[in-house]
Every structure is written in structure tokens, then in C-alpha cells.
Amino acid sequence: MSERYYTDMNSFKLASPSSTITKRIARKLAQFLQAPLTLALDGDLGAGKTTFVTGLVSGFKNGEKIRVQSPTFALARSYPTQPPLHHIDLYRISDAVMLDDLGIESLLFDPSAIVCVEWPSLYPGALPPKTLWISIQSKAKNKREIEFNFDASLFDWTSILKKLI
């Protein structure tokens, strides 16, 4: 968190009691998203980042039948939704040079796509400025706190996020 700098930071928190609710929140969010946009998904192993992306994909046109798989080993997966969605995992990237070498940078800056990034805090400087930060924290076996952070000088998500409850 400390590496990030916001001029006008806003924060919004939601509680999720189950993976189904996390997917539902993400699915609802999808209808408000327009490319280009980055969603930076912070959270420990097993927090629910990929679960969130699963819900998101299902909320886009052509996404209902898509099965989202973790990009941890493939590093990145792209889905033919409308808008297209790139799902990137930075967990196994060992240095920033690799982002360019592996073609990840071109996915991050694809102007026509929604880009979801797991483990974004490993390379926060690599992300575009138009990023919605989403932090998922485990509170109990199935309970999660989903915190959204965004630069309100770029866009104000508050009214949209309130509709996800």
C-alpha cells in the first residue's frame, strides 16, 4: 500500500459471507465497467481474487458460459467477453523487465479491455493510472471483507459501489 500515491483517495468496503456473494458482487459490478480499466486485486493466497474474476466474467456479454481458471501458471489468460477481459497473475513474475518480455505490458495497456491483475502490489508502478484497487481480506472461513480504493480525482466510484450491496 505504501508505494501507492493518490491525490484524492476514496475507499468503500463490503462484507461477503460466501464465495457465491463475492461472485454476485463482481457480477453486478461488471455492468458498470467500461474499457480501458484495470482492476487490481490484492489479497493473500486463497482470499478470493480468482473467485471475484469468475463473477466478473459471468457479468459481461458472452461471459456466462466461460469457465475462469487461475492464471497463476499461465501468467495471463484472455477471455472473449464484451468487452474483452485479460486476467493476469504477477505472483510468479520475478522482475519488472519480464512484464515487457512476456507481453504482459501490452495486455496491461490494452485500450479495449478490462484488465484484472492478481498480486498487483508486487509491481504497483507497472499499472495504468486508471485502476480500481480491490483488496479482499479473509475474516473467517467463508467471510471476506472487500475493500475498494480509487483515485477520486480520476473517477468517483462511490455511487456505483453502493449498488453492489
Ligand X SMILES: Nc1ncnc2c1ncn2[C@@H]1O[C@H](COP(=O)(O)OP(=O)(O)OP(=O)(O)O)[C@@H](O)[C@H]1O
- 51 touches Mg ion by CB under 5 A: no
Q: Which does 75 bind (CB under 5 to 8 A by kind): ligand X, Mg ion, none?
A: none
Q: Which stretch binds ligand X (CB under 6 A): 28-36, 42-50, 102-110, 148-156?
A: 42-50
Q: Which stretch binds ligand X (CB under 6 A): 18-26, 58-66, 101-109, 156-164?
A: 18-26
Q: Determine the size of the site formed for Mg ion (CB under 5 A).
A: 3
What nine digits make up the cell of 136?
479482499
What nine digits make up the cell of 57?
466474467
- Spell out a b/e string for 54-82, using b for 16 or more CB atoms within 10 Å of the CB, else e: bbbbbbbeebeeeebebbeeebbbebebe
Q: What minimum distance in Å lies between the beta carbon of 118 and Mg ion?
A: 5
Q: Where do the H-state alpha helices sit in 15-147?
A: 19-30, 49-59, 96-101, 104-108
- 49 touches Mg ion by CB under 5 A: yes
| CB of 9 or CB of 92, closer to ligand X | 92
| CB of 27 or CB of 49, closer to Mg ion | 49
Cβ-in-10-Å burial (0-12, 13-18, 19+) of 98 comes to middle
What nine digits make up the cell of 118?
492478481
Give me the residues that bind ligand X (CB under 6 A), please. Answer: 16, 18-19, 22, 43, 45-51, 70, 72, 118, 142, 144
